[in-house]
């Protein structure tokens, strides 16, 4: 397969049709959950649709790519060109001081359309992201039918802070370079691993860990609504010995982290082209060993990030 490049055709800003009311135009203070994501990348997820001739949806960034759906989906390793289907490539959330917090890129393929969205992770987590995506789809489907479109899941923008914390949080740093990290994987990861092995004077692995990200909304007391637009996530882990893992089945290991798996409605969005045939993500927040499970229109897909060994 020949190497192809995404060609930017046009881009534009989208503003509300009606003026923003004063009560809606308020300062949004970042919570501790939001601030800790400053070094993380923007959320980059997208849906791949088969092309229909009558599609005339709104476009924010319009690009073209001389490749087919098969060119994207058939390789065992996801083609690097997929990273070009998203705006804000390699941007971290702290860059939101000077970059847009949300960007949509529509890329037209030979026989399909890829709809990629990049959202600043300090603004919201993946639950907020897919709530936005599905609400946008709902608005599209109501287009031309009603003046005021009913939103089934109104986002709640009021930020939650722990008792006695916020809304202003002062960080103990003089410059953002003291807490913002920009890793160029896999080279930086290999360097960090070498430094860790040198400090510990060993290359033997005595233990490892698997962490899962959980949605805290339903676990709070009192719980936060699922429509809470912000960050409410936490990483959890379990402990087990090698003997325990070998003596028990996979289900036993999975229950070391009960009910930790977050679920997102990735396939519920439609924009006049039917259901998406696949989900793909960009460069953002990839690391060695990360595993994601996607349910798609045709089959389920397990994506695993494995960096090539640096010689």
Distance of CA 70 to the CA centre of its chain: 23
For the chain, the 3-state helix, strand and coil shares in percent, each to the nearest 5, are 25, 20, 60
What is the model's pLDDT at position 100?
A: 86
How many other C-beta atoms lie within 10 A of the C-beta of residue 260? 18
- pLDDT tens sequence for the chain (311 residues): 556 788 878 777 777 666 666 656 678 888 888 888 888 888 888 878 776 544 443 347 889 999 999 999 898 888 989 999 998 888 888 988 888 888 899 999 999 999 999 999 988 998 999 888 888 888 887 766 666 777 878 899 888 998 888 788 888 888 888 878 766 555 666 676 777 777 777 666 666 677 777 888 888 889 999 999 999 988 777 778 888 888 998 788 777 765 555 667 777 777 777 788 888 888 877 766 677 666 655 455 556 566 554 43
CATH number for the domain harbouring residue 132: 3.30.559
CA distance 245 to 63: 48
Residue 225 lies in a domain: no
Residue 166 lies in a domain: no
Query: Does residue 142 sit in helix, strand or coil?
Result: helix
Residue 211 lies in a domain: no
What is the model's pLDDT at position 147?
A: 65
Residue 244 lies in a domain: no
Structural tokens at position 302:
């397990």
Residue 253 lies in a domain: no
What is the model's pLDDT at position 59?
A: 42
Instruction: Provide DSSP, 230-256.
Output: S--EEEEE----HHHHHHS-HHHHHTT
Q: How many domains does the chain have?
A: 1
- Residue 295, domain extent: 7-12+28-161+184-204+263-304
CA distance 106 to 88: 14
Residue 178 lies in a domain: no
């Amino acid at each position: 397969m020949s190497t192809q490049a995404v060609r930017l055709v046009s881009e534009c800003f989208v503003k509300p049709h009606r003026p923003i009311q004063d009560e809606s135009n308020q300062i949004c203070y970042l919570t501790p959950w939001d601030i800790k994501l400053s070094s993380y990348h923007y959320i980059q997820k997208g849906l791949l649709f088969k092309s229909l001739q009558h599609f005339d949806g709104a476009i924010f960034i319009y690009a073209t790519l001389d490749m087919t759906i098969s060119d994207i989906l058939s390789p065992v390793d996801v083609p690097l060109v997929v990273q070009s289907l998203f705006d804000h490539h390699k941007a971290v959330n702290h860059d939101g001081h000077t970059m847009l917090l949300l960007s949509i890129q529509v890329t037209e393929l030979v026989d399909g359309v890829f709809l990629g969205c990049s959202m600043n992770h300090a603004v919201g987590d993946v639950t907020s992201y897919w709530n936005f995506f599905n609400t946008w789809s709902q608005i599209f489907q109501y287009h031309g039918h009603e003046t005021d479109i009913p939103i089934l899941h109104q986002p709640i923008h009021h930020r939650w802070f722990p008792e006695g914390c916020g809304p202003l949080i002062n960080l103990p740093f003089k410059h953002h370079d003291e807490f913002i990290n920009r890793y160029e994987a896999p080279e930086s990861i290999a360097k960090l691993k070498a430094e860790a092995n040198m400090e510990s004077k060993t290359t033997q692995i005595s233990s490892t860990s698997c962490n899962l990200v959980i949605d805290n909304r339903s676990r709070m007391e009192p719980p936060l609504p699922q429509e809470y637009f912000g960050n409410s996530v936490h990483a959890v882990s379990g402990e087990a010995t090698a003997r325990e893992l070998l003596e028990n089945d996979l289900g036993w290991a999975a229950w070391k982290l009960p009910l930790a798996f977050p679920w997102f409605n990735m396939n519920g969005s439609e924009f006049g082209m039917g259901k998406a045939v696949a989900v793909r993500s960009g460069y953002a927040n990839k690391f060695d060993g990360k595993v994601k499970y996607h349910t798609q229109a045709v089959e389920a897909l397990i994506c695993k990030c494995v960096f090539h060994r640096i010689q």
